[in-house]
Amino acid sequence: MIKLIAIDLDGTLYTTKRSITEPVRSALRRAIENEIQPVIVTGRGWRGAEIALESLEMDFPYICSAGALLRSGMNGSTIHARTFHQHSELLHVINFAYENGCGLIAEPEIGTPYWFGPDKMNDIMDPLTIKETFRSIRSIKPEKDFDQPLLKVTITADFDTLGKAEKLIQAHCLSIHQVYSGIQYIDLTANGVNKGSALQALAKFRGLQPSEIAAIGDQEIDFQMLKFSGLPIAMSNAVPSLFNIAKWIAPSNDEDGVAWAINEILKQ
Instruction: Report pTM.
Output: 0.88
Model confidence pLDDT, tens digit, residues 167-224: 999 999 999 999 988 888 999 999 999 999 999 999 999 999 999 999 999 999 999 9
pLDDT at 129 over 80: no
Residue 148 in this model has a pLDDT that exceeds 70: yes
Say whether pLDDT at 25 is over 90: yes
Per-residue pLDDT, averaged over 117-135, amounts to: 72
User: Is residue 134 pLDDT above 90, yes or no?
Assistant: no
pLDDT of residue 13 exceeding 70, the answer is: yes
Tell me the C-alpha distance between 73 and 127, whole Å: 23
Neighbour count for residue 140 (Cβ, 10 Å): 8
Kindly state the average pLDDT of the residues 53-81.
Answer: 94
pLDDT of residue 118: 81
The pLDDT value recorded for residue 127 is: 72
CATH numbers and ranges of domains, the chain: 4-81+194-267 (3.40.50.1000), 87-190 (3.30.1240.10)
